[in-house]
Structure 1
Amino acid sequence: MNADLHLGLAFIVATAIHGGPFIAIRRSAAEREPAALFTGIVGPRVNVYDYQRSDTISGRLQGATYHLYDALTHQRLRCTIHGADFDGIDDQNQILFCGRVEGLQIDIYDADFETTYVFTAIPVWQRRSRRHSPLHY
C-alpha cells in the first residue's frame, strides 16, 4: 500500500470502530511533528479530506467492508471491519494490510513493507482545549 495512505486509513478505521469524532491523526513515534488534519464523514458513505495531502478519500460501506478510493494516487482499498480489528487489500497491487483500534491507538500492519505502523487519533475535544497550539498536541 502507498505509505501516504496510512494516515487516511487510520482516520477512517478509527472513526468507523471508535466512533470519534476525530480531527487529526499523529504517528505515535513522531509526537513532536504536527498531526495530520482530516475532515469529513465515515459511515455508509465515506468522504474524507486529508489537509496534509490536499486529497480526498471516498467510498462506500457494503456489509462490513469499506470500498475506498484515493483521488490523488488513484488507489482502491477494501477494508473489512471485525469488531476492533480490520483487514484489507490494496486492489491495485494486491498488498494485504491488517490492524486493530484500541482506544485512540491505531495499529496498521502493511505486508508490503512488513512493518506495523502505530498512530494516535486526536479527538475533536482535545483540539479545542488547546487553542493556542495549532496542530501541536
Structure 2
Amino acid sequence: MTVIEQAPWLYPALLWTHMLLVGLSLSLFSARGLGALWQQDWVMRREVRLASVMIDTLLLNAGISLWVLLQHNPLHEAWLASKLVLLVVYVMLGSFALKRARSQGARLACLLAALLCAAVMVMIARTRDPLGWLPF
C-alpha cells in the first residue's frame, strides 16, 4: 500500500501548502524588489531577510516532499528539470534585483526577469511541459 493510499489527505495538504508558500514567497520578493528600486532600508533588514529564508525553506521542503510522495525524478522528467534550472536562474536574478545590481535600471531588469522566471515555473508546473506556455 502506497503512502497516498494510506493517507489520502497528504497529497492535497502538501500541494496546497506548496502553492500557498509560492504565493507568499513571490509576494514578499516582489515587495522587496520594489522596495530595493525605491532604495528603502527595510528591504535588507534582518527580520525581513529571515522571513524570506524561512518561507523559501518551507517551500523547498514542500516541493521535495511532493517529489518523494509522487516519486518524481528530475533526471527522468524534463518538466521538473526545467523548473529546477529556472529556480537557480530565479535565485540569481533575485539576488541582483535586491542587492548586487549596480544601477536602478539593472535592478529593475533583474526584478522583471526573475518574476518572468517565476511565471514560467508556474506554467511549467501547471502544464507539466518543459516549455510551459509555448504548447498552447
What is the TM-score normalised by the length of structure 2? 0.29
What is the TM-score normalised by the length of structure 1? 0.29
More helix by share: 2
